[in-house]
């Protein structure tokens, strides 16, 4: 039985009985947790991915997403139950499935959306699409992009809104908390091409999400919800970064000011800092044009933070009579966010590049990366604090919060500490004797 045209309750019941096959295209940090959760709730799930090693591992019950608590057990359990399997053959996957969920990367190239992967997957789906199927995009899409897939999908000879359904149900997850996010941290957003699709989408997602489903008017609205969530955060962080500059000129502590201002319920100033990852830095470009001046300015402000951090380090060096050229600088952390092994658009990487351009001898340490991994990125691996002129905390890893800073102070040659992520206590660092500089602190 195919889902298109069935009522919500029918779809939910058939899913938990294992009567539907769900294809999940893309088994990355968001796709694999989603596939495993659907399988755990009774669905027959086929995961499709172009990476043969990923597919081989999953079919052996092995999870390749290391940062996701609980996913090891979820994958192993559902592979053993024969509810979850993986393949590199997207066409065959499409032929065997009732729901087709696309959750692959949506990229930015030259500050413009690049949906080539989504289009390619849609082409593969069209070869196996059957009457009564439903196609869903979960990856973040520029508003209007899901419906742009219609001509590709209709190469199947079927007509959307008559023979098959189409919807957008954006993922609202973060690396490291994907299982929690998918199953009930936030409601699921559903945008559908028609009422029949909406019923079916509410049916499958209400099974796996304890917070329920919010159905919006149409697909473009659903696409905009996710994009706007990311833009809101980007603009708010840019505001925090600009207000931090104001606080520096006033000689007051930005973090203290923000924390106090945020006790008023209508105020929610974010934490200042660089913005990275595969989401927030990219979403503004999904809607950016000549009319989106605030969004464009926010992007420029946030992209400028790595240079600001380097300037802080250079100024501190100059105060000690040291030129940044040929100085020894150790950068702690290369990931865009603490405790998550991901370097896409990482401000830390940009900090390193700027330091090198200014002639510094840069050394790098990150607890999530092996020595050979750091070296493969073209960086000098070191966790030795001796002979270091300046230490830059570029990522807020938990490990850095546990360091014995008294001992580190003793080891360093010139005791300059720049904290780009509010990891250490400024007063304590100054008491120890560090020449301290920190984003958000005076």
CATH class of the domain at 8-216:
alpha beta
Residue 341 backbone phi and psi in degrees, to 5:
-85, 80
pTM for this prediction: 0.93
Q: Give the pLDDT confidence score for residue 111 in this predicted structure.
A: 87
Helices (H) and strands (E) in the chain, counts: 19, 16
Confidence check: pLDDT of 91 > 90: yes
pLDDT computed for residue 74 by the predictor: 98
Q: What mean pLDDT, rounded, does the chain reach?
A: 97
Q: Which of 188, 226, 308, 345 is catalytic?
A: 226
pLDDT at residue number 407? 97
Over 90: is that where the pLDDT of 290 sits? no
Helix (H) / strand (E) element for 123: namely helix 116-128
- Annotated catalytic residue 139: no
pLDDT at 110 over 90: no
Rg (C-alpha) for the chain, rounded Å, is: 24
| CA-to-CA separations, 283 to 145, 181, 220, 391, 392, in angstroms, rounded | 13, 20, 15, 32, 28
At 87, is the secondary structure helix, strand, or coil? strand
* pLDDT over 90 at 170, yes or no: yes
Using the Cα atoms of residue 51, residue 52, residue 58 and residue 61 in order, give the sign of their dihedral. negative
Residue 289 confidence (pLDDT) above 90: no
370-421 pLDDT, tens digit per residue, is 999 999 999 999 999 999 999 999 999 999 999 999 999 999 999 999 999 9
Q: 351: closest CA among 367, 375, 332?
A: 332
* In the predicted structure, residue 301 carries a pLDDT above the cut 90: yes
Looking at residue 67, its pLDDT comes to 84
Give the domain 227-302 fold. Answer: 1.10.1040
Active-site residue flag, 320 = no
Number of neighbours of residue 183 by Cβ within 10 angstroms? 15
Domain 304-438 falls under CATH 3.40.50.720: yes
Give the pLDDT score at 107: 86
Residue 81: CB partners within 8 Å, gap ≥ 6?
39
What are the tens digits of pLDDT across the range 116-146?
Answer: 999 999 999 999 999 999 999 999 999 999 9
How deeply is 399 buried, as exposed, middle or buried, from its count of CB atoms within 10 A (0-12, 13-18, 19+)?
Answer: middle
Asked whether the domain spanning 304-438 has the same topology as the one spanning 8-216, the reply is: yes
How large is the average pLDDT for residues 68-85? 97
Q: Which residues pair with 135 in a beta bridge?
A: 100, 166
Q: State the catalytic residue, choosing from 93, 169, 247, 279.
A: 279
Q: What is the pLDDT of residues 26-54, one digit of tens each?
A: 999 999 999 999 999 999 999 999 999 99
327-366, pLDDT tens digit by residue? 999 999 999 999 999 999 999 999 999 999 999 999 999 9
Whether the per-residue pLDDT at 96 is higher than 90: the answer is: yes
Domain boundaries, the chain: 8-216, 227-302, 304-438
């Amino acid at each position: 039985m195919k889902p298109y045209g069935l009522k919500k309750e029918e779809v939910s019941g058939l899913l938990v009985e294992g009567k539907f096959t769900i294809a999940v295209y893309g088994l990355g940090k968001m796709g694999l947790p989603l596939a495993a959760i659907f399988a755990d709730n009774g669905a027959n799930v086929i995961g499709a991915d172009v990476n043969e090693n990923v597919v081989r591992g999953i079919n052996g019950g092995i999870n390749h997403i290391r940062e996701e608590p609980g996913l090891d057990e979820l994958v192993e359990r559902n592979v053993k139950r024969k509810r979850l399997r993986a393949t590199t053959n997207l066409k065959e996957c499409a032929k065997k499935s009732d729901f087709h969920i696309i959750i692959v990367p949506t990229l930015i190239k030259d500050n413009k959306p690049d949906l080539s992967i989504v289009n390619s997957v849609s082409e593969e789906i069209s070869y196996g699409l059957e009457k009564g199927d439903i196609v869903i995009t979960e990856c973040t899409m520029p508003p209007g992009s899901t419906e742009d897939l219609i001509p590709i999908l209709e190469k199947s000879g079927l007509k959307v809104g008559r023979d098959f359904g189409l919807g957008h149900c954006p993922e609202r997850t973060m690396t490291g908390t994907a299982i929690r996010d998918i199953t009930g941290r936030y409601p699921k957003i559903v945008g559908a091409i028609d009422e029949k699709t909406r019923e079916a989408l509410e049916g499958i997602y209400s099974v796996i999400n304890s917070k329920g489903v919010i159905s919006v008017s149409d697909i473009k609205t659903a696409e905009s919800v996710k994009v706007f969530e990311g833009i809101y955060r980007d603009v708010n962080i840019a505001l925090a970064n600009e207000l931090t500059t104001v606080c520096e000129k006033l000689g007051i502590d930005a973090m203290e000011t923000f924390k106090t201002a945020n006790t008023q319920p209508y105020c929610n100033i974010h934490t200042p800092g660089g913005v990275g990852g595969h989401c927030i830095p990219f979403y503004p470009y999904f809607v950016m044009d000549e009319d989106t001046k605030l969004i464009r300015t926010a992007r420029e402000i946030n992209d400028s933070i790595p240079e600001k951090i380097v300037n802080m380090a250079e100024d501190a060096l100059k105060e000690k009579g040291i030129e940044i050229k040929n100085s020894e600088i150790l950068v702690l952390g290369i990931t865009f966010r603490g405790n998550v092994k991901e370097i896409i658009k990482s401000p830390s990487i940009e900090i390193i590049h700027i330091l090198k351009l200014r002639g510094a001898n840069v050394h790098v340490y990150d607890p999530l990366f092996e020595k050979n991994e750091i070296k493969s990125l073209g960086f000098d691996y070191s966790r030795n604090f001796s002979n270091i002129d300046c230490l830059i905390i570029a990522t807020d890893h938990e490990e850095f919060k546990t360091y014995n800073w008294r001992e580190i102070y003793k080891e360093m040659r010139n005791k300059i500490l720049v904290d780009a992520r509010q990891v250490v206590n400024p007063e304590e660092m100054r008491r120890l004797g560090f020449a301290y500089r920190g984003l958000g602190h005076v």
